[in-house]
Structure 1
């Protein structure tokens, strides 16, 4: 969602233009200071009459820190963030934004409330399962990232205005030919190499290692065979599909929805239409008279110096033919019938319909199950947050995760042992975990027997989880992994002997 707030400066052209804008603004003043040196100042950046407050810097810094922490899989300290240059990255982003905001202010650019509302409604992050804007989803997503609705709307409006400037000055610009030639030469470069493969047969068979050799190899690579930390945990998924009740949807509701949205189940009549355009009405009338005298449409096409491909409009529904006069005439003809002269948008024409595919309407019986499911999902989406509140209230009253799930008829899934890589002790992969990477990370950050904040799923649902126990990491004994150690030693020995022969 927040990615769009940076998209105005995403291309190399835009970035170059931003540099020029920033340099031009330096003539009359752009000042930036880091938090550590802000004593006596109320702003971090000043670009003409546009200022970025200390609070705005802190918010931007915290959001960037959260994004990078997620990428690194751990919460970054401020010292680590400084080493990675997060403070300077945020400052550079804010400088670019302030420069564009100031230019917009000087140009008098703005965004209407209606357009801002339309952009917000179109944001896919705020759409519910039905594909429409959902206010509760909007408020929840902003709450998750610590942003108030008014802050989001302000930022969204700023981005839209900034895009007006960037797109206006970058429209029509392109990379120089020298750049494209260099890329083409690089991508089209070919290299020929000669190599020789040494087969394992040159050094096989490899005798089994002695106990002392195997033990020494194991000790040297002991960490490779260590057992990782495992955790046992349970989770409950709460998504519309988990609480939908198709039995609560009546036949009458299904029938009403079918009739209301019948167009969704209708394939309109399609016609294959040919159109022969004439230069003048008289020429078109003469061609029509020749048809009445026994000429064929195909001969008229040839006489006009055209081919069948030139006259073919396509196989189209009536509303897909842009010229209304042509559409009305074409859909009044029988198959293989030629029209009267029609005054089309490009001149007088004769039309012929060569094929008619009738309208097809799927019967209610064929789509009733899907309609019932969609209606049940829609209702489940509507009450999802209420169910979430009920779960939270039940936990707050002292119920366990399992008890709260049972009360709401939700399924509890227990994983007996999983490591940070999503593997079981037998090295099999744990599949079908909701929000798998995020859930596994959260499980390994959590304390046992402690209630945790729910995770948000891609379908705007929730995952509640709780760690039951922890099996600490440990070094395995040679006897536990002997077979694998022998296989690894043998592979290493083969590589060493082949390398010796290659030398």
Structure 2
């Protein structure tokens, strides 16, 4: 019996090994043509492309759980990506052959003997396993070793290319210094109410210039004049007759929600033995340790041992001991499904019972709403038939008082009424003037049909139409300009130290240890950027939408380049950037080889391979 079991186990392992070698040839292109083209003097093997494409489709299925038809794979670009990978690898094969590069027999042999797929239970290479696995994978040892030698030779060439990709330490140091530098600065807001000067009245030339420099502010958006037929579930509620028995059945189906037994908030710490659990409980009883300390000793957190709210039956054998507690406390050791345990009870949750009468109206409204939504859905076919027969949106509403007919001017940004629905926003964006209305369902169970009657394109309003708005905007900007000049007039006394922001009656705010990505409420969005362009003890005046900001750079803190965190971050960044540069080198090198060697592809064979897939 033991021998039979052992053999079964071996066959299972061999089956898994065979699956792992699928890419080496266990599934092949069944055609008689060997190649789909050439790169230089090297054929692009048809079977290699078949296997690469098959692997891509299998990976997609494993990730999404869906089988991707070959037509969609072509549309998504999966076939093109698989073909490019095969072309790239064949390009390296061609170059290796051209320069006479290949791994030796000893290197190949050592690699084969290291592969776990061919090792016996003692961890050593087994020739019988080797031959059996290759046979099941439709490969001879010579074919497998030829493929493996090509893979290893290609890896040597790729390593030679990518090894040159390395950045000097100053690169990471410079970027780290930029990213991790910190600054202390002090600022105060000076709003428009502090402006001492009176702005002049704008001339016609001033208004014309401002108008021409800011056309977006005075351009009306595209307007769609629309007609909408809208049927909401609420409009059918009066026609819905809800049976009392249906409400009762809905209540009964939610018995667990409306009638909850007494529960406890519980945490459970399980031990390997009764003795360990007893020792832990003794430590708690004596005051030597508390429950959180015991949890931490086990390398756990309180969330790891939290059972939430549990009924007595849900605690099994521990239920009686825990429910005997009338206030928070600890019990144990008591048995549990996982072994001896200590339980901490944190709160008593009383039983809750909600009578049917207390929720009857709520359930009636819910049930009626469901019926109304089903009634709306039942109208779809009828309405679509009417529209197919020539009925307009106005006709749909003429004899159906429950359907609202709405006419309004829509523009981007509207979000009330029917425009609050995502389905409407999608439809209005895709619908043009003259398009046939369609019935579209809404996520709340309603439906609508939309017609665009007219589209008014964006229009720049004449200056005469918006003269008041232009005057107000020009005056506002002029006041900000004058306020900025007034603030800059304060800089000399601030720089000399004769005055401070607070002594000038301003609210002084100190920011400490701020980085480049800091967001400071109440300041212009670009203020932090400006602060990081200043030198220590510099002052600056920055304009905001409703005032100006006076800011002083107090101190610059260079990034610590030698700390443990800095060294680790720079090392990780350097590794990542070197890998990316290496891939860029490899891509550039491969493209240059392809341009030099030349590529020919047989599209008929490629199409034939695609036809092997559903």
Normalising by the residue count of structure 2, what TM-score does the alignment of the two structures yield? Answer: 0.42
Structure 1 residue 360 displacement after superposition: 0.7
Stretches of structure 1 lacking an aligned partner (at least 5 in a row): 1-20, 33-42, 63-89, 100-177, 288-297, 423-428
> What are the within-5 Å matches in structure 2 for residues 302-321 of structure 1?
302-303=285-286, 305-307=288-290, 317-319=309-311
C-alpha spacing 1:98/1:476, structure 2 compared with 1 (3 Å): closer
Aligned to 1:417: 409
**1:378 paired residue among 370, 378, 382:** 370
Contact 1:268/1:317 (<8 A) preserved: no
- Decide whether aligned partners of structure 1 residues 435 and 261 sit closer, same or farther in structure 2, where only a CA change above 3 A counts: same
Give deviations 1:110-154, integer Å, cap 9, x for gaps: xxxxxxxxxxxxxxxxxxxxxxxxxxxxxxxxxxxxxxxxxxxxx
Residues 341 and 56 (structure 1 numbering): CA distance in 2 closer, same or farther, change over 3 Å? closer
Does the CA-based 8 Å contact 2:266-2:306 persist in structure 1? yes
Aligned 8 A contact 2:225 2:455 in 1: yes
Distance 1:437 1:340 in 2: 56
Aligned to 1:248, the other structure's residue is in SS state coil
1:368 aligns with 2:363: no
State whether structure 2 residue 462 is matched by structure 1 residue 477: yes
CA distance in 2, matches of 1:227, 1:278: 72
| DSSP 3-state at the match of 1:235 | strand
Determine the structure 1 residue equivalent to 2:584.
Answer: none
Q: Distance in 2 between matches of 1:202 and 1:320?
A: 72
The aligned counterpart of 1:91 is 77
Instruction: Give the 3-state SS of the residue equivalent to 1:433 in structure 2.
Output: helix
Answer yes or no: is the 8 Å Cα contact 2:270–2:338 preserved in 1. yes
| Structural RMSD (CA) | 5.7
Corresponding residue number in structure 2 for 1:106: none
Q: Choose from 310, 318, 341 the match for 1:326.
A: 318
Contact kept, 8 Å, 1:391 with 1:404, in 2: the verdict is yes
Q: Partner of 1:209: helix, strand, or coil?
A: coil
Aligned to 1:465: 450
Q: In 2, distance between residues paired with 1:488 and 1:401?
A: 44
Alignment partner of 2:471 out of 486, 491, 502: 486
Matches within 5 A, 1:140-151: none
Cα-to-partner distance string for 1:192-220 (whole Å, 9 max, x where unaligned): 56889887667842211233443454456
| 2:319 alignment partner, SS class | helix
Counterpart position of 2:391 = 399
- The 5-angstrom pairing of residues 65-76 of structure 1 reads none
Alpha-carbon distance in 1 for matches of 2:260, 2:320 = 19
CA distance in 2, matches of 1:431, 1:57: 44
Equivalent pairs counted in the alignment come to: 344
Say if 1:231 and 1:444, in contact at 8 Å, map to a contact too. no
Hey, what's the Cα distance between the residues in 1 that align with 2:195 and 2:462?
33
Cα pair 1:335 1:355 within 8 Å, conserved? no
Q: Using the alignment, how far apart are the partners of 1:338 and 1:217 within structure 2?
A: 76
Match of 1:451 among 421, 436, 439: 436
What's the counterpart of residue 527 of structure 2? none
Deviation at 1:481, TM superposition (A): 1.1
Q: What corresponds to 1:252 in structure 2?
A: 245
Shift of 1:319: 4.5
Q: Deviations over 1:323-354 (max 9, x none)?
A: 521125544x4747999985445666798989
Contact 2:380–2:439 under 8 Å retained in 1 = no
C-alpha distance in 2 between matches for 1:439 and 1:451: 15
Equivalent pair of 2:74/2:80 in contact (CA under 8 Å): no
- Contact in 1 for aligned 2:263/2:312 (Cα 8 Å): no
CA offset at residue 188 of structure 1? 4.7
Distance in 2 between the 1:30 and 1:408 partners? 68
Larger radius of gyration: 2
Shift of 1:392: 0.8
d(CA) in 1 for partners of 2:187 and 2:325?
A: 71
TM-score (norm 1): 0.50
Unaligned runs of 5+ in 2: 1-22, 28-33, 38-45, 58-67, 86-168, 296-301, 489-540, 542-614
Q: Does 1:48 align with 2:31?
A: no
Alpha-carbon distance in 1 for matches of 2:321, 2:452: 71
Distance 1:355 1:195 in 2: 50
What is the deviation of 1:269?
0.7
Higher relative contact order (CA closer than 8 Å, sequence separation 6+): 2
Q: Compared with structure 1, are the counterparts of its residues 485 and 327 closer, same or farther at alpha carbon in structure 2 (3 Å cutoff)?
A: same
CA contact (8 A) 2:220 2:458 kept: yes
CA contact (8 A) 2:224 2:409 kept: yes
Return closer, same or farther for 1:269/1:415 CA change in 2, 3 Å cut-off: same
Whichever structure has more strand as a proportion of its residues is: 2
Contact 1:240 1:384 in 2 (8 A): yes
